[in-house]
Amino acid sequence: MTSDRTTADRPAADHPAPDRPAADRTPHGRAARTRIAAAFADAGVTGRLHARDLDTGAEIGLGADTAVSTASVHKLCLLVTLYREAAAGRIDLTRQVDVPAAGRTPGSIGLGAMLDDARLSLRDLAYLTAAVSDNTAADTLWDRIGLDTVNRTMADLGLTRTVAVHKLRDLIAALAEDTGPDSPVDPAVVARLRVLDPAFTNHSTPRDMTTLLAALWHGDACPGDHGTALRRLLGLQVWPHRLASGFPYDDVRVHGKTGTLPTLRHEVGVVEYPDGGRYALAVFTRAAATTITLPAADAAIGTAARLAVDALRAQAAAGRAR
């Protein structure tokens, strides 16, 4: 496939913040980076990852500062903004909103697949956005909050490279325009899709996403009950085939938000262990294959995340043993 990577999509060096220990400088971290890179290569994807121990600040990155097209992962930014605005008293999450059947954002699940007019509260729209990545629910929230408010909130939280350029309906329209009448799996078609280019579309970096997750889990993004409510929603996501596939245990809790576009398979989230360990993870992949179904890419997200968490846990255990 012809490469269409822009300057923004090229790898950048990882630069851990000076007040955070870099686990990837330890033997455990270096070995994990090698194994993570191998897992991505075996799956036929280019992968970018950042993992952060939410309690020690230790981190592991692979292309962690590379700009990526976020796809539906950007709904996390929307949800954080919604609940932050509610915590500040500027939004009532119980407010009822009409969602007419006509004019809904395309989508094969959620409101986009339903046939009748609906009326839901803002918090129920947030549930659909988080649990099944409902495009119509998300755009209904975008319409009430606005791109500028979301971008300003991300900047206030220290996300310096995270920007929402358009809502879902505009992203999908650009995808349809670039695809035209041609096959969406044709490599020549995929090469011209602007929504894969972080310079054109909603974008972030793996490190920015774990920064956002850390702010949410530490109570800085959405304080009190509002943060608790949003963390609960992220734990209700229904998709088990990416991040959660790396942690197939009844006593390990996975909270996440996926993102999908042609050749792109992403997920960001937090994994909580029964011993109290908490780890923010952001994994973004782009496949060489242009097929619609990419199970190897999905599985690689879970594998890479598990390798990163294992390294962070091993480093923490080694530190306690000293």
Query: Which stretches of 133-223 are DSSP H helices?
Result: 135-145, 147-156, 168-179, 187-191, 206-217
Residue 61: inside a domain: yes
Q: How many CB atoms lie within 10 A of CB 297?
A: 25
What would the pLDDT profile of 29-88 be if each residue is shown by its tens digit?
Answer: 789 999 999 999 999 999 999 999 999 999 999 999 999 999 999 999 999 999 999 999
Residue 19 confidence (pLDDT) above 50: no
Give, rounded to a whole angstrom, the gap between the first and last alpha carbons of the chain.
Answer: 50
Give CA 9 to chain center in angstroms: 17
Q: By three-state DSSP, how is residue 49 classified?
A: strand
Q: How confident is the model over 253-273, as pLDDT tens digits?
A: 999 999 999 999 999 999 999
Q: 8-17, 94-103, 118-127, 259-268 — which is least confidently predicted?
A: 8-17
- Residue 310 in any domain: the answer is yes
Please indicate, yes or no, if residue 219 is contained in any of the structural domains: yes
pLDDT at 1: 33
Span 213-269, pLDDT tens digits:
999 999 999 999 999 999 999 999 999 999 999 999 999 999 999 999 999 999 999
Task: Write out the two tokens for 172.
Answer: 């999908």
The whole-number average pLDDT for the span 165-188 is: 97
- pLDDT value, residue 24: 64
Residue 201 · residue 216 · CB < 8 Å: no
Residue with the bigger pLDDT between 280 and 11: it is: 280
pLDDT tens digits for 114-168? 999 999 999 999 999 999 999 999 999 999 999 999 999 999 999 999 999 999 9
Tokens representing residue 69 in the block:
């097209």
The token duo for 7 is 């300057």
284 inside domain? yes
Residue 23's pLDDT band (cuts 50, 70, 90): low
**Residue 306 lies inside a defined structural domain of this protein:** yes
Number of helices (H), then strands (E), in the chain = 10, 9
Classify residue 169: in a domain, yes or no.
Answer: yes
Residue 116 within a domain: no
The residue-averaged pLDDT of 180-192 equals 95
Q: Please give the Cα distance from 145 to 235 (Å, whole number).
A: 23
DSSP-derived secondary structure letter, 131: H
The confidence score (pLDDT) of residue 14 equals 56
pLDDT higher than threshold 50 for residue 5: no
Query: What does DSSP say about strands 68-69 and 203-204: parallel, antiparallel, or unpaired?
Result: antiparallel
The whole-number average pLDDT for the span 12-38 is: 71
pLDDT at residue 3, rounded to an integer: 35
Q: Indicate whether 262 belongs to any domain.
A: yes
> What pLDDT is stored for residue 22 in this prediction?
63
Residue 310 belongs to domain with CATH number: 3.40.710.10
Q: Which residue range(s) make up the domain with 66?
A: 8-91+159-321
Residue 9 has pLDDT above 70, yes or no: no
The total number of structural domains in the chain stands at 1
**DSSP bridge partners of 59:** 22, 52
